[in-house]
């Protein structure tokens, strides 16, 4: 370096020093600058405090928290909070639509999330498009923690939509800093209710916290009313979840609940009565908190569901995390199809979204009732007729049991005169044990058994319980009309009122269902006729006759707000039972039956083990009664002395 160059650098330095000294801020200017910096710090502190207050509310966002700030202060806040993500805080919300023959979904560039889902082949009860949720009903957010320990929510960021040759695929692209990227990729296959969702990240090492090994996810949805009859729909709206390689569980149907789960989950589903939004992980969800809250103020909604969870994530290399959304109907055959060809420990078991009763009841619906529905549905569209044919099929299967039950009652009935004669032989109250033994001996010798009439009726109960579970939730009945009923899946009100009647409205609602009324009336008539026809002359327990009449009335309170298809089934079933009883009564010659029973008395009988134990129990009971009677007589004699 020569002499002139050195002199030049020295002069430039002297000029800069002099310029800085001449332009140094005055005391007043320094104080003003300090006040400006203090105001920025105060704003940032208030924003952080506000974020803490808003924590846990899915609708809170950075934009809302800073909307009252000036542009300059907001820019300071953006740089401070978002760092490398700051460029994505501002933008325009664009919506990209994916649809096939089954569903329509909209992807919003604000947050890169699914902001709208509609089931295309279904309508609400009011015949409007069946929208599972829109932008105001659902929130989705992925949380990143930066290397400077700042929390960044994707719900605050604007993604850039990128489309390719596939019209049913879109990538929501997010550039992070100079080289980092985060892509949300959505793909919708033809004729499917599943939306594939992939999170791809690259170049985030140095941007995110070095300890990052998982991404936190928050997902919420307000459940819309879609059906007629809020009470029944609310009863079957719940939050479902499946443990990884384990059972499906649910909660939230009746009350506010929250659960913290340490075990890994395969999927979480927000289920309405007939439709579900589910988020399914290709891997697993961990450290999950689920909450369900009842909606009471807004009649348009039933419940609020909220999920916070985490998925494994690595900063090294190109990370890809796969999910699937299910937006569709709770139809057993459809849901079961997603497990075809899948290893048992990897199956989704989405079919558990269809309530079909307890574990010992569910097989009846799976392997008997639903196959009949599916088979008959191929040939006819009138579900009133299908229910009628289903009832005939059930009655046909139960016919041997019904016939056996009737024959048992007939044997008891033709022996009634002999039972009446025994009552005259043992008229005293203290002779009740002898009367019972003599009656049982009569039945045994004639080949009649009171138990044989009860057992077939008990064997019918599982089918009746299975139908009670299935019919209110069978999507096959949804919006299927028959006769005066517009929708067999809900009540068929013939009379309605708006006034809330204490006690009455809480049990039967503000209406009367015609199928339910007919079912109750027919059951009361059948109870009266059946009690007369099956009177065997034996003494019944006090109040038993009244109980037989109370049961149909109880069914009225249970079914009036329930599925019209269920009431229709029980109505048809009772009418068929009455017809069977009348046919049996006229077809069976009771004189010949009595003669056969009399002939049985002459045959040597080998007592069954059950009869031996029953007689031994009666003998011991009689012996105990005699001992007690002797003790009472002894005490009475002692008191007289």
Q: What are phi and psi of 243, to 5 degrees?
A: -70, 150
As a dihedral over the C-alpha atoms of residue 555, residue 560, residue 564, residue 566, rounded to 10 degrees, the angle is: -20
Give the list of residues 6+ apart from residue 136 with CB closer than 8 angstroms, or none.
none
The confidence score (pLDDT) of residue 39 equals 47
Q: What is the CA radius of gyration of the chain?
A: 38
Q: Residue 114 in contact with residue 124, Cβ under 8 Å?
A: no
What 3-state class would DSSP assign to 428? Answer: coil
Report the DSSP beta bridge partners of residue 36. none
Give dist(CA 402, CA 615) in Å, integer.
Answer: 28
Read off φ and ψ for residue 589, nearest 5 degrees. -85, 105
- At how many degrees (to 10) do helices 609-640 and 432-446 cross? 170
Asked if 475 and 274 count as a contact pair (C-beta separation under 8 A), the reply is yes
Distance linking the first and last C-alpha atoms of the chain? 145
Dist. CA 559–CA 336, nearest whole Å: 29
Look at residue 217 in the predicted model and tell me its pLDDT: 94
pLDDT at site 501: 77
Q: Which residue has the tokens 């089918």?
A: 463
In contact, 402 and 581? CB cutoff 8 Å: no
Residues 279/267, Cβ–Cβ less than 8 Å? yes
- Give per-10-residue mean pLDDT for the chain (641 aa): 55 57 55 49 45 43 53 59 78 91 94 94 91 93 88 90 87 88 93 94 86 91 90 90 90 89 93 94 92 84 94 81 94 92 88 86 86 86 89 84 76 70 68 66 62 62 83 87 88 82 76 89 82 55 63 81 88 88 77 68 59 65 70 72 60
DSSP SS3 for 501: coil
Cβ neighbours for 77, distance < 8 A, ≥ 6 positions apart: 43, 44, 47, 66, 69
Q: Beta strands 301-312 and 493-496: pairing type?
A: unpaired
3 state SS of 599 = helix
**pTM score above 0.85:** no
Q: Decide: 369 and 566 in contact? Cβ < 8 Å.
A: no
Question: Which pLDDT value is given to residue 36?
Answer: 42
* pLDDT of res. 43: 41
Token code pair at residue 64: 């809302």
What is the Cα–Cα distance from 495 to 513, expressed in whole angstroms? 7
Q: What is the pLDDT of residue 95?
A: 92
Max Cα separation, the chain? 149
What does the pLDDT read at residue 66?
52
The number of residues making up the chain comes to: 641
Structure tokens at 285: 């969800």
Tell me the β-bridge partners of 140.
219
pLDDT at 476: 87
Q: What distance in Å separates the CA atoms of residue 292 and residue 612, rounded to the nearest whole number?
A: 57
- Are the beta carbons of 296 and 255 closer than 8 angstroms? no
DSSP state of 297: S
In terms of DSSP bridges, do strands 194-202 and 248-251 run parallel, antiparallel, or are they unpaired? Answer: unpaired
Predicted pLDDT at 583: 82
In 3D space, the residue among 129, 317, 312, 319 whose CA is nearest the CA of residue 224 turns out to be 129
E strands, 80-208, in order: 95-99, 103-108, 113-123, 129-133, 138-145, 151-153, 160-163, 169-176, 180-188, 194-202
**Quick check: 513 and 560 in contact, CB under 8 A?**
yes
Dihedral angle of Cα 321, 322, 327, 329, to the nearest 10 degrees:
-140
Beta strands 194-202 and 180-188: pairing type? antiparallel
- Look at the block and give the residue holding tokens 């109980």: 547
Token pair in block for residue 176: 């992070």
Cβ atoms of 275 and 130 within 8 Å: the answer is yes
Ordered DSSP codes for 537-563: SPPPPTTHHHHHHHHHHHHHHHHTTS-
| Beta bridge partners of residue 144, listed in sequence order | 152
Q: Considering only CA atoms, which of 302, 307, 220 is closest in space to residue 253?
A: 302
CA distance 252 to 256: 6
Instruction: Give the phi and the psi of residue 597 in degrees, each rounded to 5.
Output: -65, -40
Question: Which run of H or E residues covers position 466?
Answer: helix 450-470
**Which tokens hold the place of 202?**
């690259």
Query: Which pLDDT score, from 0 to 100, does residue 55 have?
Result: 41
Q: What is the pLDDT of residue 137?
A: 92
């Amino acid at each position: 370096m020569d002499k002139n160059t050195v002199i030049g650098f020295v002069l430039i330095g002297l000029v800069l020093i002099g310029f800085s000294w001449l332009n140094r801020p005055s005391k007043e200017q320094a104080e003003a600058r300090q006040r400006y910096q203090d105001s920025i710090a105060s704003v940032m502190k208030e924003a952080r405090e506000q974020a803490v207050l808003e924590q846990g509310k899915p609708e809170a966002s950075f934009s809302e928290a800073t909307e009252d700030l000036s542009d300059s202060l907001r820019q300071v806040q953006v740089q401070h909070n978002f760092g490398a993500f700051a460029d994505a805080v501002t933008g325009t919300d664009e919506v990209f639509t994916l649809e096939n023959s089954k569903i329509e979904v909209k992807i919003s560039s604000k947050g890169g999330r699914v902001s709208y889902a509609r089931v295309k082949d279904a309508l609400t009860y009011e015949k409007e498009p069946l929208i599972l949720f829109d932008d105001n009903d659902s929130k989705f957010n992925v949380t990143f923690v930066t290397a400077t320990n700042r929390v960044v929510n994707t719900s605050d960021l604007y993604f850039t939509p990128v489309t390719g040759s596939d019209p049913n695929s879109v990538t929501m692209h997010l550039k992070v800093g100079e080289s980092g990227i985060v892509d949300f990729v959505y793909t919708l296959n033809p004729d499917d209710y599943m939306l594939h969702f992939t999170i791809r990240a690259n170049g985030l090492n140095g941007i995110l916290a070095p300890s990052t090994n998982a991404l936190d996810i928050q997902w919420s949805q307000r459940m819309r009313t879609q059906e007629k009859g809020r009470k029944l729909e609310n009863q079957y709206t719940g939050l479902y979840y499946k443990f990884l390689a384990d059972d499906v569980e649910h909660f939230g149907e009746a009350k506010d609940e929250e659960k913290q789960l340490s075990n890994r989950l395969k999927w979480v589903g927000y289920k309405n009565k007939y439709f579900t939004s589910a988020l399914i992980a290709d891997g697993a969800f961990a450290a999950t908190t689920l909450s369900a809250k009842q909606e009471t103020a807004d009649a348009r909604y039933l419940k609020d569901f909220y999920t916070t969870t985490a998925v494994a994530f690595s900063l090294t290399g190109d990370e890809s995390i796969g999910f699937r959304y299910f937006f569709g109907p709770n139809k057993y055959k459809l849901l079961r199809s997603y497990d075809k060809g899948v290893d048992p420990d990897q199956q989704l078991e989405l079919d558990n979204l269809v309530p079909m009763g307890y574990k010992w009841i569910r097989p009846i619906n799976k392997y008997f009732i639903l196959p009949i529905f599916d088979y008959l549905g191929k040939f006819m569209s009138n579900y009133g007729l299908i229910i009628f044919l289903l009832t005939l099929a059930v009655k046909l299967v139960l016919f041997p049991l019904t016939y056996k039950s009737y024959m048992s009652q007939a044997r008891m009935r033709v022996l009634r005169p002999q039972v009446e004669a025994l009552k005259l032989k043992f008229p005293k109250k203290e002779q009740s044990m002898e009367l019972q033994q003599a009656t049982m001996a009569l039945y045994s010798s004639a080949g009649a058994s009171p138990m044989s009439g009860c057992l077939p009726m008990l064997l019918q109960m599982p089918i009746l319980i299975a139908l009670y579970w299935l019919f209110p939730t069978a999507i096959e009945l949804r919006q299927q009309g028959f006769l005066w009923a517009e929708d067999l899946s809900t009540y068929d009100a013939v009379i309605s009122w708006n006034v809330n009647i204490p006690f009455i409205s809480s049990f039967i609602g503000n209406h009367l269902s015609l199928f339910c009324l007919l079912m109750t009336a027919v059951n009361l008539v059948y109870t009266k006729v059946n009690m007369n026809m099956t009177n065997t002359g034996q003494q019944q327990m006090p109040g038993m006759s009244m109980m037989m009449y109370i049961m149909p009335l109880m069914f009225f309170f249970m079914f009036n707000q329930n599925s019209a298809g269920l009431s229709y089934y029980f109505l048809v079933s009772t009418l068929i039972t009455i017809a069977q009883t009348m046919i049996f009564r006229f077809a069976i010659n009771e004189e010949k039956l009595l003669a056969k029973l009399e002939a049985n008395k002459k045959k040597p009988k080998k007592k069954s083990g059950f009869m031996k134990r029953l007689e031994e129990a009666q003998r011991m009971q009689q012996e105990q009664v005699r001992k007690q009677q002797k003790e009472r007589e002894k005490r009475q004699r002692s008191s007289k002395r």
